[in-house]
Chain A
Amino acid sequence: MLRRTLARSAAALTTAALVANRRAVAQGAPVELQFWHGLTQPLGGMLEQIAADFNNSQQRYRINATYRGGYAETMVAAIAAFRASNAPNIVQMFEVGTATMMAATRATKPVWELLQQTGVNINFDDVLPGIRGYYSLPDGRMASMPFNSSTAVAFYNKDMFRKGGLDPEAFPKTWQAVAEAARKLKAAGIAAPMTTSWPTWLMVEQFSAIHDIPLASKGNGFGGLDAELTINNPLMVRHMQNLIDWHKEGLFRYGGRDNAADGLLPSGECAFTFASSGTRARILKEAKFEWGTAMLPYYDDAPNAPLNSIIGGASLWAMNKGPGAGRSEAEWKGVAEFFAWLAKPEVAAKWHTDTGYLPLTRSGYEQVKATGFYKQNVGADVPIEQMLRGGGVLTENSRGIRLGGFPEIRNIIQEEMERAFQGQQDARTLLENATRRGNVVLRNFERANRA
């Protein structure tokens, strides 16, 4: 009884709030829109600045951008909030959450539908193919609003390269050469020459795309929910075993899960790292040495390597309030207007040049190129060039990944890698275990989302 009373009074409060909200609109106060993001500083501040610029550009809507922890935490918070009928209007969702969000058709409103309904126009024709493919439905309609798309590149400390007797202008192209370089750096007294951020994204996802090997069946999951992991293949085993051996040899340092290793290059502990191109902003700010950007290495005896890398980063999703709670037209309209603001060439270009994330469109890239930006900022175009490597034609393996529950699978692979680095298992067992455990997640997701 108490429960019902409480629920009723809470409902009354909500209604009162809604009424107040409507009254506020009538009086001309802006519609408040919640936007949860998962970017730490300095990127988070830059994103909040964009929201503030949007707010200052008009009076009808107010975007309230707040940080909710890292990407994974933001995803969990948004889903929990949805169950509580308290979801944000916009959530920033990392790329591997795409399949989960897409499957939850009643929780999100796809961008194409949002634009159609509100009459706002955004031209997606010109969006970089790697980005567009990742966030669109099979028929090409956009499901979410691409925002901070990155790809992974190598960052290296040129001062240390000089110290190790290496050419500071030429980062090794192949993994074989990377190992040699690391040995020289180690000999020159650098305790841990190599590290990586996002171990799964870099060493499994990007690796598979670049070498044109499938990560999962059904075209990496684009073909249906019944896909299975295929990471237990000879090339993957070879690379993992190399990492394990290099770790043992002291050439490679495991810096932790997700982006925990981001600080190891700028702090001068490691000589080179593989990380999101979006790390550029942080390195610019913190590194007290000369550094360079390079494309990801590959094994030159693999038949189709090197292909384009895939994207990472995040896109923005328009969310319903809850299972039984909708949104007002004004709210949807505000979200659409904000997305259109983000797609404006000057906003997108500034975000790209400030942060190192990819430009949204090809024409945006050409415009920035025309300003001479890449001449002054050597290396800022490496991620884009790498996205177009191999001719810019995406194969089934280099288009992206669409697997449900993939954040959990990422963690599983990271866990199995940690086990291997502790000396508990070799590369083959690592990949066998990861495949077995990952497939359990895929099957559970398939069952839960059958409808």
Chain B
Amino acid sequence: MRKGIIFKGKLLPLILMLPQLAITGIFFFWPAGQAIWSSLLREDAFGLNRDFVGLENFAEVLADPTWREAAQNTAVFALSVAVLALSAALLLAVQADKAIRGSGLYKTLLIWPYAVAPAIAAVLWLFLFHPQIGLIGRALNAAQIAWDYRLNGGQAMLLVIIASAWKQVSYNFIFFLAGLQSIPRAVLEAASIDGARPVRRFWTIIFPLLSPTSFFLLTVNLVYAFFDTFGVIHALTQGGPAKATETLIYKVYVDGVENLNLGASAAQSVILMIIVIAMTAVQFRFIERKVHY
């Protein structure tokens, strides 16, 4: 690894960095600052009147039961998506890692959902679970299990969890497989000589070796469930019924874009930024270790 700095000059590197810095400044830092500023204002929808109200928006958001409900939904949703997507991916990866015929084909058939946009994944699952036109939705209703995710909050939550996790399984699968393949064969063979049964062998030897990957994936999955699933919720339930699937991100959108309460929406944005910074700090500790690895 090299450490020396090679070229002299001050202007050229700045020019090279300019595009990145300009975009970062204009589209990240400027709006982030604006978010903080407008979280302190109260504005009408058309942007014709504005008042400085200090921290009032924050006080209102934090006292708002619907915001707390959204926070709770977010926790349930994010944890469910992460657990479901991770466990399914781990199971599949362990199987695909075995030397069996057709494992290459299996791999291809298991990674393609990664390419499907979350919103499209939602649409695909809607075709299965729509109460009137969906295969499973109709079957459930025919079996006297009243299924309508547009009215039943629990069912709506289940559906957005499934659609979101489905897409993320592929991503986790790729990493688990890479993690498994990096475990030295000798370790596995030694374990199998010990006569440990496969299931025990997995939990006592393989799983601990995968824990860095698992931890990394857990944070990635939580971040995914936090942000990237906006499309799933928007396409499937619009946060309903009765706000049952409204996550914090979705609420920012509803309050800011649909209800045009700009101050409240900005205050929620700022709160989210604080949450994200905390989450990124956790993730960063891991990346940093990787960097020095």
Contact = CB atoms under 8 A, between A and B. Distances in A.
A and B touch in the complex (CB under 8 A): yes
B46 A82 contact: yes
A246 to B, nearest CB: 14
25 contacts: A2-B22, A3-B26, A3-B30, A79-B46, A79-B260, A82-B46, A82-B47, A83-B46, A100-B45, A103-B44, A104-B44, A104-B45, A104-B48, A106-B46, A106-B48, A416-B242, A418-B151, A419-B242, A422-B152, A422-B242, A424-B242, A444-B42, A448-B42, A448-B49, A451-B49
Interface string B7-38: 00000000000000010001000100000000
Contact of A76 (B150, B153, B242, B258): B258
A382 interface: no
Interface string A67-86: 00000100010011011000
Contacts of A359: none
Interface size class of A (residues with CB under 8 A): 35 or more
State the 3 A-B residue pairs at the shortest beta-carbon distance, nearest first. Answer: A418-B242, A448-B44, A419-B242
Contacts of A2: 22, 26
A450 interface: yes
B259 A405 contact: yes
Interface string A99-133: 01001101100000000000000000000000000
Contacts of B43: 448
Contacts, number: 73
B261 interface: yes
Interface of B is mostly: loop
Given A256-B150, A416-B242, 4 more contacts: A260-B150, A408-B259, A444-B42, A448-B42
A444 to B, nearest CB: 7
Nearest to B258: A76
A450 B48 CA distance: 11
B42 A447 contact: yes
A444 B46 contact: no
Contacts of B153: 418, 422
Interface in B250-277: 257-261
Given A2-B26, A449-B49, A422 B44 contact: no
A448 B243 CA distance: 25
A450 B44 CA distance: 10
Nearest to B155: A422
Interface in B231-259: 240-243, 257-259
A326 interface: no
Given A2-B26, A83-B46, A254-B151, A415 B257 contact: no
A323 interface: yes
B47 A83 contact: yes
A451 to B, nearest CB: 5
B48 A107 contact: yes
A257 interface: yes
A418 B155 CA distance: 13
Interface string B43-79: 1111111010000000000000010000000000000
A291 interface: no
Nearest to B49: A451
Interface in A370-423: 405, 407-408, 415-416, 418-419, 421-422
